[in-house]
Chain A
Amino acid sequence: MPVESVYSRLEPLLPLVRKPIQYVGGELNSVVSDWDAAEVRWALMYPDAYEIGLANQGIQILYEILNESDGVLAERTYSVWPDLEALMREHRIPQFTVDAHRPVRAFDVLGVSFATELGYTNLLTALDLAGIPLAAADRAAGDPIVLAGGHAAFNPEPIAEFLDGAVLGDGEQAALAISALIREWKRAGRPEGRDGLLAALAAEGGVYVPRFYDVDYLPDGRIQRVAPNRPDAPYSIAKHTVMDLDAWQYPSKPIVPVAESVHERFSVEIFRGCTRGCRFCQAGMITRPVRERSITTIGDMVERGLAASGLDEVGLLSLSSADHSEINEIATGLADRYEGTNVGLSLPSTRVDAFNVTLADELSRNGRRSGLTFAPEGGSERIRKVINKMVTEEDLIRTVTTAYASGWRQVKLYFMCGLPTETDEDVLAVARLAREVIKAGRQASGRRDIRCTVSIGAFVPKPHTPFQWAAQCDRQTVDDRLRKLGGALRSDPAYGKAVGYRYHDGKPAIIEGLLSRGDRRVAKVIKAAWADGARFDGWTEHFSFDRWARCAAQALAADGVDLDWYTTREREYSEVLPWDHLDAGLDRDWLWQDWQDAIDPAGPAEVDDCRWTPCYDCGVCPTMGTEIQTGPTGARLLPLTVAGAQSPAMMARGTAAPANGPGV
């Protein structure tokens, strides 16, 4: 049965909304497949604005893998802004995909990737616009299976009511396995309806199906237990891990929008996972172990991606890019290859390490040296030990000195406020640090126009980290410290103008905290806030703390818990956490011990990286049957050869070769 495009009805509305180009699709490398030829159809959603969601690597990777798979079709859908939402409701236009403008409800699967919990209300908007019942229990045969993925899926309990399933970990193989199960189920005549499919996904697809689990509560509000309510549902659900990144070279044909998006660059993930052991970092904990892409694969991906996209900037992506075992060879090799062209290279997520500056110098051969960003995260040596961010002040000063000396004009420093055991002094230490940085920079560069920007946000404890038991700092304390820090940064006129200050206040962090560590009862709060108008909660102009606080108070009153209970309350070892049945591979006792080490009254103990020290038994490798995969491979990137100009792609390569000389 053909599914009609809604575009003819949508187009007349587009002149009436802001940035209509984001709704028209037609991007380079986007794919429109024959609807009837596909057996399994995915709508992939990033629950934020197009300009944010388009660049999302996860969606781009799955989009390509699924569309390459026989009989599988994937299209993308993003959150529509409230102006279009109102018009869509008025004109009865459903949530649509941007590829072929097909209604989302017509697909077999709606796969939603959550990078942040603040996207939860946007999920509800999309479901409602699509005509899909909000509660999974109310969905019928004609509705898609709604699956969540991304980091927030490691505790999907607050949105469990709205989900048919959640997929933990890497999606490449999981998405194909799910597609195969759906195809099998459809070919078999959909045995046992939706439940039959969900049972198969739970048993064979590694999908967490919330409705197969019951949650009981203690009289004091804590969870008593979470247990499966059917014999075929496993007690705990393990994350998925892709073990050979060289076998999964995606994205290879990045989607390039006509509209502006946040990343105007082609990003290549150079490794996945991180074992630095920063205790606040959920990404580092749930993506273990470290798996590197080889230098040659990275070189190939950069070459192909640039040719396919026409982009002129490459980002070498990972959680801590300078930690790749052959980063030096990669940087030098790419810089050599693209010297004399207008291709820019960048290294996001760098540690405080002078070596990184050398790398950045190498990568910026072709262009500007405007700003470098480092994340010491904590202002004082003591607090950095608490979070296991092993950076000394000398490291930082040495690093910025190198940076300013080699021509970088601006250094940006990231910090967090409200960390466990933190005092005012720890935060005020940021101001002193910033002054030292400016002083060192002025000395190293011999100039006075250098700048240092301090960016600080409130810490939110996350599931599956050693800080999952911690009390989140209350917003008054956070705001108070941020205010004091602002005063301290401005207090010394000799540095005042050289220091920039940017902060995120404590209000959104408290709501993020509620959604991060919440359980199934929080669904009522999300639904109430959404019904009250909550949309795009990651955006200041849309976020309303008062609305969330009011809805939380009302929705949770009957349960005897409240916003503070979920956020600023410290948990005990014995408390059942809402995500305890979801397995990131981390040994719960190891996490607890690491938490105790962090807050040890005798002083925090540090944990080194298991890539260059013995294994410290975090539990991931043995539980998941995985292992650290790092180089060096010893391979080198060779110059790209001039292969003649038979085709445009060849011409592109030709211009990239040094032999061809500079293009200007």
Chain B
Amino acid sequence: MRFASHRDIARAVERGVRRAGLPIAYSAGFTPHPKISYAGAAPTGTASEAEYLELSLTEACAVGDVRDGLDAALPDGIDVIDVTEEAGSLGANAAEASQWEVVLPGVGPEQAAMAVEAFLATDTLEVERLTSKGLRRMDARAAVVTMETDRRAVDERNAGYAILRMVVRHMTPAVRPDDILAALRRVAALAPSSPPLVTRLAQGPLAVMAASAAEAHVQGLAQGQIETTRPGALTVHETGTLPASAYDQLLRGAAGSLRTHAPGSLTGEYPDARNRAERQ
């Protein structure tokens, strides 16, 4: 699922909810949409082991049934880890930061350690990214709470890659792992031989993230982390809804939109093949 966009994931979840037969609530209006909301979706191209979403249901369901039914109905690569019934909706303050793991192919552990040191030694590190709203500048350093190289990789000197662990604060505009990698490239000429593999390990309150980062350091990674980093207390929702569930997001895609034009089409709204399929 690393290569799936947020839209792809959302569509898969909608279908999964229908297949599982969950009594999902729909929005009112001309084109009703199932009431499903997402907290801080991981950027396309990154994997995630800690995503949260919220379903509004029209009747009370056992959380275990919702978890198992939805898990079975979702495609491989999206796993429902846990479901809880919450009285309110996912607060923005609950997920204040994320813990990320970045595998850097072709980078030696020592080189990575030096880059981290150089990065942490700076006060600010401005990077630019082209967004749909134009060129945005952001401070990559300010977003990073902790950053270190993973010891397991450091021990294996011939591994041929380095692993970074970092806790990144959720900010507006969002600072993404690739922005931080861009900053590392600037301060320490860190250049992986092929695209880094980025995975979100957890998200939650800042303090919990920082603490669990330290813990992971010692223990290695455990699935139980998702439990421990669950967003805290949520407020009440009057329709008596809503399990928030964590789901595992594996592959997501670094994709631009692929605009397709029909041969000679004046407006270019439909590719020829699509048009033909439509007519069949």
Contact = CB atoms under 8 A, between A and B. Distances in A.
A540 B265 contact: yes
B261 interface: yes
Contacts of A260: 7-8, 11
Interface stretch (B15-23, B84-92, B94-102, B141-149): B15-23
Interface in B240-280: 251-256, 258, 260-280
Contacts of A375: 279
Contacts of A19: 253, 255, 258
A306 B3 CA distance: 26
A664 B26 contact: yes
Interface stretch (B68-76, B111-119, B182-190, B218-226): B68-76
A28 B263 contact: no
Nearest to B9: A258
Interface residues of B, number: 68
Nearest to A458: B264
B154 interface: no
Interface string A20-35: 1101101110000000
A387 to B, nearest CB: 15
A538 B274 CA distance: 10
A544 B26 CA distance: 47
A118 B24 CA distance: 43
Contact of B272 (A55, A256, A538): A538
Nearest to B5: A21
B28 interface: yes
A15 B195 contact: yes
B25 A310 contact: no
Contacts of B7: 260
Contacts of A560: none
A447 interface: no
A311 B7 CA distance: 16
Contacts, number: 193
Contacts of B139: none
A16 interface: yes
Interface stretch (A105-113, A140-148, A628-636, A648-656): A648-656
Given A504-B263, A540-B263, A27 B20 contact: no
A502 B271 CA distance: 12
B1 interface: yes
A259 B195 contact: no
Nearest to A482: B264
Interface centre among B21, B268, B275 (most CB of A within 10 A): B21
Nearest to A151: B280
A153 B53 CA distance: 48
B45 interface: yes
Nearest to B193: A12
B32 interface: yes
Contacts of A645: 21
A648 B69 contact: yes
A322 B76 CA distance: 39
B172 interface: no
Contacts of B19: 28, 307-310, 648, 652
A310 B21 CA distance: 9
Contacts of A500: 267
B107 interface: no
Contact of B8 (A18, A23, A258, A507): A258
A654 B75 contact: no
Interface in A3-60: 12, 14-16, 18-21, 23-24, 26-28, 48, 52, 55
Contacts of B254: 15, 20
Contact of A258 (B11, B17, B28, B72): B11
B279 A349 contact: yes
Contacts of A309: 15, 19
Given A12-B105, A27-B75, A342-B26, A21 B272 contact: no
Nearest to A653: B21
A348 B4 contact: no
Nearest to B76: A26
Contacts of B23: 651, 655, 663
A158 to B, nearest CB: 19
Contacts of B21: 645, 648-655
Given A258-B1, A502-B269, A664 B32 contact: yes
A311 B253 contact: no
Contacts of A23: 3
Contacts of A186: none
A663 B4 contact: no
Contacts of B3: 14-15, 20-21, 23-24
B75 A26 contact: yes
Nearest to A541: B261
Nearest to B24: A663
Nearest to B260: A539
A505 B272 CA distance: 11
B232 interface: no
B253 A263 contact: no
Given A20-B253, A28-B15, A652-B19, A349 B280 contact: yes
25 contacts: A12-B105, A12-B194, A19-B253, A19-B255, A21-B4, A21-B5, A81-B258, A115-B277, A116-B273, A310-B20, A319-B280, A368-B30, A414-B279, A502-B265, A503-B264, A539-B260, A541-B260, A648-B20, A651-B20, A651-B23, A652-B18, A654-B21, A663-B58, A664-B26, A664-B28
Given A21-B3, A52-B273, A258-B11, 9 more contacts: A19-B258, A115-B276, A258-B8, A308-B19, A311-B15, A317-B280, A375-B279, A648-B72, A663-B24
